[in-house]
Amino acid sequence: MNSDDFEKKLERQPMRAVPAEWRAEILRKAVAAVSDRRSLALYKRRSETAATAWWRDWLWPRPLAWGSLAAVWVVIAALYLATPATPALTAKQQTPLSREMMQCLAEQRREMAALLDPAGERSVSQQPKQPGPRTELTREITAT
Amino acid sequence: MRNMPADTELERLYDGHAQALFAFLLNFTRNEADTRDVLQELFLKLVRQPALLAGVRDERAFLIRLAHNAAIDLMRRRGARQRNYDHLAAEALQLFELAASPDEQAFRDALAAALGELPPDQRAVAHLKLWEGLTFEEIAARLGIPPNTAASRYRYGIDKLRERLRPIYEELK
């Protein structure tokens, strides 16, 4: 079997023709897809226009009323911003006392305590007695 | 090519290339409904992406490549479930024009069946070589494969066809 002859015979076999009715349908669907996209874009544009038109129709007949309302809101906002902050907030915002100030306050407290109760000064300055070694404790017990 | 395929531009593309695309897709997919779907998808794509053909020198080559990719995507989407059904459908596929003589018709039927037994890769290359008259370089460019691969796929494919069709070919000679 000659290879060239065989391939030539295959080449001569005519492929089936594309069905004639496909042309109209394929092209129609393709064109419809474009039309749909155009329609969608047009619809979106129209919707946006309609929305802005609604706002305009609603606001436009009473410009004085809407303007007054807006002015009231501006005054409220200005008053709110001009009002000083609340004391609680101010206390929170303060910085903590410095170490020197704390020492000064403690000193004043001691002096006040000394003036009011001289015996109390000793108790303030005296440190509580720490327990000694066990040998000392034994010595104390035997001494008593 | 123009940016926007207008109606007349689409008609020109269809009239110029639909027959070749149809034959390629029918041979590749072995299914008339799939061929129609892919062809429709192709023209929708052309319409939705008007710049697709801008700067393309060889429209036919570009469209064959698009069709090939779309057909592969479709076959992958369908998966293994449809394969048995496709096999049955392929046996009744009319790939060629009806012949005047019964002998010639028998050969065409046998050829259609033999093509159906080839792997799709070999079938695509054989189709482009035999019925589009392309060189291996051109086939390689259309299918996105190296020219050597195109050549070897063709050789394997044509050898199988020759083996399969030898009895009827010898008889008709």
> Which two three-digit tokens encode residue B149?
């691969």
User: ipTM of the assembly?
Assistant: 0.85
Q: Which of A106, A109, A85 is nearest to A97 (CA)?
A: A106
Nearest Cβ partner for B40 among A9, A16, A29: A29
Residue B120: what pLDDT?
93
What is the enclosing helix (H) or strand (E) of A114?
helix A99-116
pLDDT in tens, A7-38: 999 999 999 999 999 999 999 998 888 776 66
Residue in B with minimal Cα distance to A15: B96
Nearest Cβ partner for B158 among A7, A16, A34: A7
* Cβ of residue B27 closer than 8 Å to a chain A Cβ: yes
How many residue pairs from chains A and B have C-beta atoms closer than 8 A? 85
pLDDT for residue B21 is more than 50: yes
> Which two three-digit tokens encode residue A121?
């000064």
Nearest Cβ partner for B130 among A10, A22, A37: A10
Q: Measured in whole angstroms, how far is the alpha carbon of residue B14 from the centre of its chain?
A: 16
Q: How close B18 gets to chain A, by Cα (Å)? A: 7
Q: Does residue A79 or residue A48 have the better pLDDT? A: A79
pLDDT for residue B151 is more than 80: yes
DSSP states of A15-72: BPPPPHHHHHHHHHHHHHHHHHHHHHHHHHHHHHHHHHHHHHHHHTT-HHHHHHHHHH
Residue A34: what pLDDT?
76
> Which two three-digit tokens encode residue B156?
């394997």
* Cβ of residue A129 closer than 8 Å to a chain B Cβ: no
Would the CB atoms of B36 and A22 count as touching at under 8 Å? yes
Residue B1: what pLDDT?
46
Q: What is the pTM of this model?
A: 0.63
DSSP states of B82-97: GHHHHHHHHHT---BP
* Cβ of residue A34 closer than 8 Å to a chain B Cβ: yes
Q: Does residue A118 or residue B95 have the better pLDDT? A: B95
